[in-house]
Chains A and B, each alone.
Chain A
């Protein structure tokens, strides 16, 4: 059984199914109840499941995350929505000090089965603090798992897998792809959450992307094909842990790798990939791992965001550079 849905609607359906499947699952966040969230991801869920399971929160991110810690201790599986990427920082201490460390601090006695949903990334012409890519902070934090979806099918399944996890999951939603449509297969067995996905096979270089950049990477692969270059495109899907098996297997074949992300470059996910591939595939690779990323500036005003964000042309430049070694 399958249906064509937007990524936003697929998330909504995934959340709905999780709420149906387990009475301990509950949602909390700003404006998620009556309004259904500013992106309508939780639309209709409060009227269906009630105000105790889909909770409108006061405007306080530390409060939202911190009370979710207590709810998780009480046996609930809270799914909290951070309204926008740039709003997560008031809740940062609770996430890195409490959510991430609770299991280790209590030597495994206390689990934190919590999902922190964050619409992230730019490209939507938003005002400041609404286009951030904060994944690096969370990937750097032991105790958290970090995943991101790029398609409606993944959105539907991965949100349910994240909710089922006994560990806290930072679930990053590519807000500029919320309205992308795709087939959602409701009955097929889903891919494991912590596994990357080879979306396009190729032989000349591997392009690694995740979240909003997956579509950009696929577009680049189309253009490259017209120019006679065969690019392999991997949707990483899971940023903590990273699926090294899939990534190294691909790069071992193509011997070239280009990482693409919106987040700033320094010490970003691309840096970890470069370090790892250089260690594991030092004698195999034909060229250094190249990074196509946001620049190390604050996210710029929206009128110039297209210059900051990686696009097809910048990816193609990197492909050319990689192939020229």
Chain B
């Protein structure tokens, strides 16, 4: 596979067989893995529902996470209580793992608001402008450092920041500046790059002539490539990177080598720029299938478990569909009132102007 390194960390093959790695091992239990399987299955169900909701006109747009579940669940499950995530607009599975009410994520794509969910303190707002969040993440990490929240003996007092970004973002100036700042200040931030092979239609080769993880060295921090469809390897490498940051050893870069199985968004047509054979090949590397195979071979799950999980996913899907009805639109009044934190006389004037305009439509009493 082009761009795939011989050194790519893998702990579970696409066939569902555990393999050893010299530097990384999965430290969780089989029970944890059963949990990750559930996370991935529910995330995929959520994604399927969201895509369907877009097709039914309930969402304006949807960027599917299909195929990237292991990258997101594996990294999210390596987070600790005080860690903070700066996402792109596709980190739905991370949001789910952190407990963000998922209907509130749908609200953004429905056009109800611009992403004002609960838990913003931990899972920051989605960024549509490619790569902007990497600088915010770095600044936040600098703040953690100033607040003495790295390198403490008690691990509960430590924290770090994950900046998710994609392969396309690696070309952005902001992202490269984020690498520079993170390195200069030794900030506790991990750049978690999901290389899903495409920036809409543009293939990886257009963004970089070398595997992305190799760039990290030039910025002065370690980088590695991990099989992004292997939740064990993603978890193991994330844990390593996150712990480094928490311990005060600074930034690092993870390239999760994965594939966007679906379209860029529901407005996209991947058949114009990639071959069916390629998609089929990646289908053979599916993150959920390989973990299922492995856990079955271990006897950790059986048909009854899978049937129950399937039912849980169906119920979850139904709850997602139902949640749309409960979403409310931001009002123009709120739009006026939330531009500034402090009162703005100038804007208050326009708010009243609009209210007066609306009042002209009211029937006289």
- Residues of chain A touching chain B, judged by Cβ–Cβ distance below 8 Å, are 26, 52, 57-58, 60, 62-63, 65-76, 78, 90, 93-94, 97-98, 101-113, 142-143, 145, 165-167, 194, 240-242, 244
Contact = CB atoms under 8 A, between A and B. Distances in A.
A257 B160 CA distance: 56
A109 B120 contact: yes
A207 B128 CA distance: 44
Contacts of A165: 342
A107 B338 contact: yes
Given A58-B184, A71-B143, A241-B345, A106 B135 contact: no
A113 B174 CA distance: 21
Given A101-B114, A108-B116, A110-B125, 20 more contacts: A60-B173, A67-B136, A67-B178, A69-B139, A70-B136, A70-B138, A70-B143, A74-B139, A74-B144, A78-B139, A104-B339, A107-B334, A109-B116, A165-B342, A167-B340, A167-B341, A240-B346, A241-B344, A241-B345, A241-B347
B190 to A, nearest CB: 14
Interface of B: 86, 113-116, 120, 124-125, 129, 132, 134-144, 146-147, 173-174, 177-178, 180-181, 184, 330, 334-335, 337-342, 344-347
Nearest to A194: B345
Nearest to B146: A52
A103 B340 contact: yes
A167 B342 contact: yes
A68 to B, nearest CB: 6
A66 B115 contact: no
B180 A70 contact: no
30 contacts: A52-B146, A58-B177, A58-B180, A62-B135, A62-B177, A63-B138, A66-B139, A66-B177, A67-B138, A70-B142, A70-B143, A71-B140, A73-B124, A74-B140, A74-B144, A93-B129, A94-B135, A98-B132, A103-B338, A105-B116, A105-B125, A107-B116, A110-B120, A113-B341, A143-B340, A165-B342, A167-B340, A167-B342, A241-B345, A241-B346
A105 B116 CA distance: 7
Contact of B140 (A62, A70, A194): A70
Contacts of A73: 124, 136, 139-140, 143
B172 to A, nearest CB: 9
Contact of B143 (A75, A110, A112): A75
